[in-house]
Amino acid sequence: MDTHNRDPTHSVHEPDSSEEASGIESTVFPLINPHEATDYVPTKLGEQICLHQDDNDDEPAVAKPFARTSSPESAPHILHADNRVPERLMYKMHKFSLYETASRYYIVGADITERRYRILKIDRTTEDSDLSITDDKIVYSQREMNQILDTIDDGNKGTGGIRLRCTTWGLLGFIKFTGPYYMLLITKKSTVAMIGGHYVYQIDGTELVPLTPARFKPDVRNTEETRFLGILNNLDLTRSFYYSYSYDMTRTLQHNITRERNVLANGLPCTSGDDFNAMFVWNNHLLQPAVKALRDPFDWCRPIIHGYIDQAALSIYGRTVYITIIARRSRFFAGARFLKRGANDLGYVANDVETEQIVSDALTTSFHAPGPKLFLSPQYTSYVQHRGSIPLYWTQDNTGVTPKPPIELNLVDPFYSAAALHFDNLFERYGAPIYVLNLVKARERTPRESKLLVEYTNAIHYLNQFLPPGRKIIYKAWDMSWAAKNRDEDVIGTLEDIAESVLTTTGFFHNGDGKINPARVQNGVARTNCIDCLDRTNAAQFVIGKRALGHQLHALGILEGTVVEYDTDAVNLFTHMYHDHGDTIAVQYGGSQLVNTMETYRKINQWTSQSRDMIESFKRYYNNSFMDGQRQEAYNLFLGNYIFSQGQPMLWDLATDYYLHHADPRMWSGKSKVDYINWFTPSNLQQTQLLAYDPPPGDVGKKPVSFFDDYWLEYYRPSTLSSFLKTFPYKINSTIRYIPFKATQDGRYDLSPFKVRSETDVDPQEKKKPKEPVVIPSQGNPSRPDADTPSLLWDPAMAAKGMAAKGIPIPRWLQPVQNRPTDHGSIVQQTIPDDPTESPKAKQTPQEKYKAAQWSFTRAVHQSLNPSVSAQEAADYERYINHPQNLPLVVSAQERADNDSEYRDYINGAWHLETRLQPGPEDDPALYAELLKVGENPLTVTDEDAQKKRYKAYRKWLRGKSFFKQQPVE
C-alpha cells in the first residue's frame, strides 16, 4: 500500500511540543520555503509529436501514436491473457491511434502500460449505408500489432496503403444528420483531479471525422448538412466536459464504494464498470450506434459529464487534505435559462445539478486500507447536494426586451404529477428524507416569484400527506433576497443554522470497516432552489458545504470541533472553489457569471463589485435575448432530442422545442395511469447501509490489490521514470498560496489554515496606512477650534504650510458644513482635543472608521445634488458681495468716521507687509529648469526620478491623498 505523502509542500515540520506549551507569545511556528509554493507546470508540446522521448511522468495533452517498428520480430512477445488481471482491466484501453485506408478506419488501442493492444475496424461507408464496426476482442502484443498493420499496408498498396490520421485519447461516439456518419474523437486532454489514484481529465480538443470513402466528395448543394454541422459547432466541447478511464464520474463516491463492497461480499472480483448513470452521460446519444454494434462499447468509448470539477489542497503542518468538488449537470430537460424553466411531464427539472464535495486525507492513495482491506480506506468522505428549478409547469417569455419577464403558471395540476415524479426520482438517487430549501421572494409589490412560492408550498403539503412518518419532505421557505437587502438581517447566520439542520438530517458519507473505523452513509439530500438556481442557490450551497466541510474534517481527525471559521485560509480556499463552481454553472445556464457573490451576502463587497455586477447582468441579458436560441439548438442536436428524419421539419424551422422535451401526446393513451396517492416507490425510501467487512470468500480473497483495481498503473506509471515531487501533473491550488512568505521568516506566523486572519497578520511591508485626517478651525488659532464654527477636513502637512500657518481666515460661506444631518446617516469626524495633554478618544470601531473615511465623497455627492445654504451663510455672502460698494472711489489718507470695524481691520492688517513676493520652493528656478529638461527616453522612469517633486506627488496620490480616492459608499 502507498503510505507516502504526495504533496511537495510536505516538507513543513511539526512545531515542538515544548514551544507550544510556553504560550502564545513564545510560540515559534515553522518557517516556510517560498519555492515550495511553486506548482509544477507541464511542459508545452510543440506541433511535432515526439514518438520515443518520455523523460518525465507528465502525460502530454496530445496522445503519442503507436510506434511501428521496422523490424517487428525483435519486439518482445507477451501472453494474450494474464491470470493475475481480471478481464475488465485487461481490456481497458487508454491511448488510441487512428489509421486510415481508402475503405476503412483502424483504431489501435493501447493499455496504460503500452504492453497490450487491440484494434477496432470501422468501414468508411457511403451516406446511405449503416454503421459497420468490428471488434475482435483479441489482445495483441506490440510485435503482433506491427505485423497486422504491415499486412494491412501491403494489402492496400494499390490505393495508397495505410497512414496515421491522428492520435486520440478516446472515442466519444457517432452522430448522423442527413448524410454520412461522423466519428467524434478526443484529441487533447488535461488533468484536473485525482480520486483514489484514478485521474479525472478535461476535454481540451475534439475532432469530427466523417466516415466517407477517401475519394468521396461531399455534396455542396446539401445546405442542410452544412447547417447541422454549424449548429453542432455552437456547443463547445472543450469547456467543462470531463471523463475518466477507470472511475465512474456519473455516480457519487458513496455509490461507487458501496457497489464495489457489495460485489466483493458476494464473492465476485469486481463490477463490470459499465453501470453508468444515464442522466449525467452527455454523449449518450452519440454512444447508441456503438452500443448496438459492439458487445463492450465502453472499452473504446468514453462517457463524459458536463458541469464543473476542481481540486485543491489544505496543508495542515505538512499533513495534506484534498478537497474535490464535482458538479454534474443532468442531460434531461437541459437548456438555456428562459427557454427551460420548471419541469417537464416526465418529472425532470431545468438546471438540474448534483454537487459532490469529496474531502480525503493523503495518507494513502487508493480506496483500499492496509491489509489489504479492499475499498475500506477511512480517509475518504463525501457530501452531496442538489439544485434544480421549481418542479412545476411554469415559463417565462423572453421574446420582448424585458430583463425580467413575467412568470406564468402554464398548468395548475391539483395532483402535482410532475413534482411527484421528480421527488420520487430524488428518493431513488439519494434516499430519504429530502430537505427542500426554497429561497424565492415572498415580499413583492407585483406578485412574480411569490406566485411560485404559494404553488410550490401547496405541492409539498399535498405530497407529504401520503409519505410515511420519518420520510416526509422537510420544507424550509426563506426570502433570502429581502434578508440580503435588510441591514438588520444576518443572512449568513440564518444560513448557518439551516446548514446545521441539513447536516443533522442527511448526514454525510465516511468510509470505514464498521469495526475499527466507524462508517457513515448519507441518506437524503438538501435540494436548494431560487428562481434561476444560480446566485442565491450557490451562496446557500456554499454555506451548507462549508458546514459539511467542518464535519468531514472532524471525521478525518483534523479538527477537534465541527466548525470552520470564516476568514481562514481553509474557508478562503473553499470560497474560491465555490465561486468558480457557481460561475461555471451560471455561464452554462444563464450565459454569464454570478451576479451576487458571497461578498454580497456577507455584506463585505467593495464598491468596485457593483460595476462588475452590472456588467454580468448585462451579459446575462444579452445572452438570454440573442444567443440562447443557438445554444438551445446545439443542446437539442447533441443530446439527441432532435433526430433528423425524412418528412419531418428541420430543427431551425420548429416554432418551439416543447415536444422535444416532453412526452409524445400520442403515447399518453398507452401509458399506465399515475397513482395520485401512492406516487412514490416504497423501496426508494429504505435507508442505505454499508455492509460489515468480511474478507472475500474463496480464491478471490487471495488475490492482490492489482487484481481488483489498477489505479497504481495509472497513478505511479511503473514503466516510466517518475519522481515524488511530480506526483500531481497538474496545477493545483493550495492554502500555501494564502500565506505571506515574508511574515513567516521570524517564526511567529501560524501556518494553520484554520487560523482566523486579522489585520495584524498582514506583511508589515505591505501594510502602509495613510495619515489620519484631522480637523482644523476656520478662524482664529488653528489648535483651538470654536465649537460653533464649521471646520474643514485638512491634511496636517498642508495645514502647516498653507492658510492655517498664515492665519488667513476662510469665508464662512466657502466652507462645507459637515455636521448637517443627511440621508446617508450621521457623519463621524475626528477633532483635535482642546488640551494637548488630554488622553485621546476611545478607539474607533471599524464601522466608524469606514464612515469617517468616506464622508467627503458622500457629502460632495449630496451637496452637488442638493445645493442649499443656511441663513448665516447667506448673510455672510451678502456682506461679501456688498463690501466693495462701501469703499470710497477716491483714496484718502484720512480715515472715514463711518467705516465699519471690518474696514479698519483691513486697513490695519498685516497684508501690506507681504506685498513683496518672497521666493518659495515652488519658485525655484533650478526646479523649473529641471522640469523643462527632456531626457533621451522621456517615458522611462529611472531611480533618479524618485526624488523629483512630481513623482513625490504621485506617490502621495497613491497613498490616498486624493479627494476621490476614498472608501466605497454604502
If you search the block for the grid coordinates 429504505, which residue do you land on?
Answer: 686
Q: pLDDT above 70 covers what percent of the chain?
A: 69
Model pLDDT, residue 747: 75
Task: Round to whole Å and give the CA distance between 572 and 567.
Answer: 6
pLDDT tens-digit profile of 120-133? 999 987 666 678 89
Of 382-396, 754-768, 813-827, minimum mean pLDDT range: 813-827
Q: pLDDT tens digit string along 789-804? A: 333 333 433 443 444 3
- Cα 784 from chain centre: 56
* 835 HSE (CA, 13 A, CB side): 3
Among 605-609, 822-826, 945-949, which range has the highest average pLDDT? 945-949
Between 36 and 104, name the one with better pLDDT: 104
Residues 235, 233: Cα–Cα separation, whole Å: 5
351: nearest Cα among 343, 363, 362: 343
> What pLDDT shows up at residue 4?
41
Rounded-to-integer distance, Cα 642 and Cα 653, Å: 12
938 pLDDT exceeds 80?
no
Q: Which band of pLDDT confidence, cut at 50, 70 and 90, is reported for residue 960?
A: low
Return the ∠ at Cα 136 (arms to 135 and 137), rounded to 5°. Answer: 95
Burial class (CB in 10 A: 0-12, 13-18, 19+), 247: buried
Which range is least confidently modeled, 69-73, 310-314, 455-459?
69-73
**What pLDDT score does 814 carry?**
44
Residue 516 has pLDDT above 60, yes or no: yes
User: What integer pLDDT is reported at residue 968 of this predicted model?
Assistant: 45
With vertex at residue 497, the alpha carbon angle to CA 493 and CA 500, rounded to the nearest 5 degrees, is 135
Most confident of 386-395, 649-658, 749-758: 386-395
Of the ranges 177-181, 522-526, 821-825, 913-917, which is most confident? 522-526
More confident call, 744 vs 408:
408
CA distances 574 to 299, 354, 545, 566, 595, Å, are: 36, 18, 9, 10, 19
User: What grid cell was written down for 645?
Assistant: 428524419
Average pLDDT over residues 774-781: 41
pLDDT interval class at 812 (50, 70, 90): very low
Determine phi and psi for 170, rounding to 5 degrees.
165, 170
Higher-pLDDT residue of 418, 702: 418
For residues 474 and 460, give the distance between their C-alpha atoms in angstroms, rounded to a whole number.
Answer: 9
Low-confidence winner among 350-359, 372-381, 800-809 (lowest mean pLDDT): 800-809
3-state secondary structure of 425: helix
pLDDT at 908: 67
The pLDDT, as a whole number, for residue 777 is 41
pLDDT over 90, % of the chain: 33
Mean pLDDT of the chain, nearest integer? 76
Most confident of 173-177, 607-611, 820-824, 890-894: 173-177
Q: Identify which has the larger pLDDT, 449 or 859.
A: 449
C-alpha cell, 8: 511537495
Q: Which three cell numbers stand for residue 549?
A: 466541510
> In terms of pLDDT, which residue wins out, 784 or 570?
570
> In this predicted structure, which of 71-75, 299-303, 869-873, 914-918 has the lowest mean pLDDT?
71-75
- Least confident residue range of 16-20, 114-118, 351-355, 628-632: 16-20
Q: How far apart are CA 186 and CA 188, in angstroms?
A: 6
**Strand 353-361 to strand 380-387: parallel, antiparallel, or no bridges (unpaired)?**
antiparallel
Residue 390 has pLDDT above 80, yes or no: yes
Task: List the single range of 304-318, 326-340, 732-746, 950-964 with lowest mean pLDDT.
Answer: 950-964
Answer with the residue of higher pLDDT: 77 or 931. Answer: 931
Confidence of residue 816 (pLDDT cuts 50, 70, 90): very low
Per-residue model confidence (pLDDT) at position 602: 80
Q: Which amino acid is at 707?
A: F
Contact yes or no for 870/803 (Cβ under 8 A): no
H/E stretch holding 936: none
Q: Please give the backbone phi and psi of residue 427, each rounded to the nearest 5 degrees, phi first.
A: -60, -40
Question: According to the model, what pLDDT value does residue 272 have?
Answer: 61
Q: What is the pLDDT of residues 887-901, one digit of tens each?
A: 555 555 555 555 556
Q: Kindly report which listed range (121-130, 254-263, 311-320) carries the lowest average pLDDT score.
A: 121-130
665-704 tens-digit pLDDT: 777 666 667 788 999 999 999 988 887 777 777 777 777 7
Q: How many C-beta atoms surround the C-beta of residue 405 within 10 A?
A: 16
Q: What are phi and psi of 421, to 5 degrees?
A: -65, -40
Nearest to 682 by CA among 463, 469, 424: 424
Question: Which residues, in sequence order, are CB contacts of 199 under 8 Å at separation 6+?
Answer: 191, 193, 244, 245, 714, 715
CA distance 662 to 423: 18
Burial class of residue 66 in the structure, from the number of CB atoms within 10 Å of its CB (0-12 exposed, 13-18 middle, 19+ buried) = buried
* Mean pLDDT, residues 101-129: 86
Q: What is the dihedral of CA 413, 416, 417, 421, to 10 degrees?
A: 150
Best mean pLDDT range from 105-119, 125-139, 727-741, 908-922: 105-119
Question: Averaged over 530-553, what is the pLDDT?
Answer: 94
C-alpha cell at 132: 459497420
Q: What is the pLDDT of residue 40?
A: 35
CA dist 537 and 528 (Å) reads 6
- Check the CA dihedral 292-297-298-303 and report its sign: negative
Position 81: which residue type? A
Burial of residue 83 (CB within 10 Å: 0-12, 13-18, 19+) is: exposed
Write the pLDDT tens digit of every residue in 160-197: 889 999 999 999 999 998 888 999 999 999 999 999 98
- 263-283: pLDDT as tens digits: 888 777 766 667 899 999 999
Per-residue pLDDT tens for 360-387? 998 878 888 887 888 889 999 999 999 9
Read off the pLDDT band of 592 (50, 70, 90). Answer: confident
Q: What is the mean pLDDT of residues 77-105?
A: 71
The residue type at 886 = N
Instruction: Quote the pTM value.
Output: 0.72
Nearest to 638, CA basis, from 910, 335, 222, 273: 335
Q: Quote the pLDDT of residue 683.
A: 92
Task: Look up residue 133 and give its three cell numbers.
Answer: 464496426
